[in-house]
A and B are shown apart, each in its own frame.
Chain A
Amino acid sequence: QKEVEQNSGPLSVPEGAIASLNCTYSDRGSQSFFWYRQYSGKSPELIMFIYSNGDKEDGRFTAQLNKASQYVSLLIRDSQPSDSATYLCAVNHHTGNQFYFGTGTSLTVIP
């Protein structure tokens, strides 16, 4: 079983819609959860992170964490064509040294 699993997609949403990206993890010892955006041919860039149950909002992005169900999600409101990218979910264990990445979900926002 993989540490972190994501639906590879592709996920397509129309411009202005809400894009919902999901991620599940296997280790209950995971403490921190991160979302990265990766444009084709570029390195991953951090969007936001969360470590407490509930929602965390940053502009058009909302991260949601449910530790009991072991999932974390990213909502993108008012999706724009520039949001088209691969979104990587990552988790960090209590030691803080290792990060485990999902394989990413490809998002396409259709104008």
Chain B
Amino acid sequence: QQQVRQSPQSLTVWEGETAILNCSYENSAFDYFPWYQQFPGEGPALLISILSVSNKKEDGRFTIFFNKREKKLSLHIADSQPGDSATYFCAASGPGGNNKLTFGQGTVLSVIP
């Protein structure tokens, strides 16, 4: 059972456009949602995160929009750059300790110059 789902699987945008990556989850107990960025041959690295008490989180060109009622969130990458080309993972964790992350299957983003 896939508790965290991402769409699309792959996305191609032109340089300067806004890329929108979507994520949904099933477990209502999830309350922490980090997005990880992964380049080929590297491990995932934290990009930006949000807690379920918030509906928006911004960090430079990166913004998370969160809808708790619909169990959906999205990552917006404004003014996309070729260097943003990577795989993006939505993840989730809940209270109760252990800090275990449940990952989506990822979205491969390609930014064309």
The finding on whether chains A and B are genuine partners in a shared complex, rather than unrelated, reads no
Q: Which residues of A contact B (CB under 8 A)?
A: none
